[in-house]
Structure 1
């Protein structure tokens, strides 16, 4: 059966995807999961009728949120991924041979199972990598109660602030994330499309400005997430990271020998260059 699946993230605007086939349509204990096939985007995952990822353009999102902080920092070995149940962010992070440990905390095991079954092109073998520690549980509780070795990078690859993900945008959550970081560690967050979700970005950066010495955001344009560029929050107490020269970034990238589809040093060097309407959002 073919049908249209409408995304309902925004009350005043909707977009839809024609489903050639519905692969998954299941209510988990936490949310409503749908995976469909579409001729343009390939397989698409939606949670509560909000697009999470598609086979066609997932690489833009996942390469942006992972490789930029890794190449900027230059010394990341331990990574915590919050959410990211499709495995795409973990797959990109684990491409770096210097990464020794990744913990991924996902509240919904059914998302993991569905990704392994239907989104193998996105997660590939990330869940089987011996460096990956998969934790099925509440991420807010995890960071609240974490007393293990500190992380060099925390990536909050959450869905939008709806349902169980809402608490992953709170001040208390970000404070606990910082406690899990090394002194020179970096926190990167998914903060939606500012044209539609400006309050979400402003709220996060207001918290970051009080928490970190260097708080900002970088952007990337991802076709699936309509409304213009998507914003990724950035917070660190190391003021030198974003001063790293373009030549050093280029050398790190060349030495990695990674062949990527979106990330390159030209994009990296301009990712923090914000149009005025976004710059104003993070200064308010």
Structure 2
């Protein structure tokens, strides 16, 4: 057996593991909800794990955050109010807030400990987003908030962990139903749905719920190096026409937004919805 001393080993899947060298452990503490660790790796920089599973890294977080935020916001074209469920590291909030046209962002995070230690140990992810006056931080259970909110959101981003532990409730049909009700007319819901090659049932179950709820439902893909097993899927649901936006319109909106990106482009946006057959077969 290989000596794994000094490595962080993720065993999210029963028959597959990935290991990341941990040159330094900067933080290791268990809250009431989960075990939080921050390690340093020579390739990915600082890495946040929850219960041993990689959540985000200094090196490749931009792919995840750009694709979960810019795709629905630029497809919508007039998003003013955005709801983020999860995302306690602040990276999603920072990316959403790069859109000057967004007037208000509500971020609902169940664990205040994630926010506190992210400010200290992962400040490069949020880059001051928690101090932006447009951001309203709510420490609460995301499912309960969604059930009770008055809604009116143009975009809802479910930046959840995998459907285990406290994140499990964010993958239920009732949660998605409440999210649909919380959308303004023409609003867009996007969700984190894991790596289809390894977690096909997760995508199928979400898409089955979306099919019953939305007139336009599908998923789109992006490859994030530390989420092992192939490209990650993001669920997409709307009763509007946002997915029918053409390339020239996206280019104009992107230019008007005047934001710097390292992954997202209008061309990548449209191409992300082209699904390989093994993913398309997971659709109900």
The TM-score, its normalising length taken from structure 1, stands at 0.97
Could you tell me how far 1:183 is from its partner in structure 2? 1.9
What does residue 245 of structure 1 align with? 246
TM superposition shift of 1:9:
0.7
The residue number in structure 1 matching 2:224 is 222
Instruction: Render the CA deviation track for 1:23-74: whole Å, top value 9, x for unaligned.
Output: 1111101001111011111000000110000011000000000001111110
Flag structure 2 segments of 5+ consecutive residues without an equivalent: none
Residues in 2 aligned to 1:29 and 1:129: alpha-carbon distance in whole angstroms: 28
Asked whether 1:278 is paired with 2:259, we answer no
CA distance in 2, matches of 1:161, 1:257: 35
Matches of 1:33 and 1:162 in 2, distance apart? 15
Aligned to 1:267: 268
Q: For residues 219-272 of structure 1, give each alpha carbon's deviation from its aligned partner in whole angstroms, at most 9, with x where no partner exists.
A: 00010111111000000001x211111101001111111111111111012110
How far does residue 186 in structure 1 lie from its aligned partner after superposition? 0.5
1:160 to 156, 159, 162: 162
State the Cα deviation string for residues 162-183 of structure 1 (Å, max 9, x = none): 1010000000111111111112
Task: Name the SS for the 1:184 alignment partner.
Answer: strand
- Match status 1:141 vs 2:144: yes
* 1:136-215 matches, cutoff 5 A: 136-147=139-150, 149-215=151-217
CA shift for structure 1 position 159:
0.5
RMSD (Å) for aligned C-alpha atoms: 0.9
Q: Secondary structure at the match of 1:194?
A: coil
Alignment of 1:1-284 (within 5 A): 3-147=6-150, 149-238=151-240, 240-282=241-283, 284=284
Query: SS state of the match for residue 198, structure 2?
Result: helix
How many Å separate the matches in 2 of 1:69 and 1:98? Answer: 14
Task: Please list every run of 5 or more consecutive structure 1 residues that lacks an aligned counterpart in the other structure.
Answer: none
- Measured in 2, the distance between the counterparts of 1:126 and 1:17 equals 28
Q: How many residues align?
A: 280
Deviations 1:179-231 (Å, cap 9, x if unpaired)? 11112111000000000000000000000000000000000001011111100
Look up the SS of the partner of 2:194 in the other structure. coil
TM-score for both structures, normalised by structure 2? 0.97
Distance 2:153 2:266 in 1: 25
Q: Secondary structure at the match of 1:14?
A: strand
Partners in 1 of 2:230 and 2:41 — Cα distance? 22
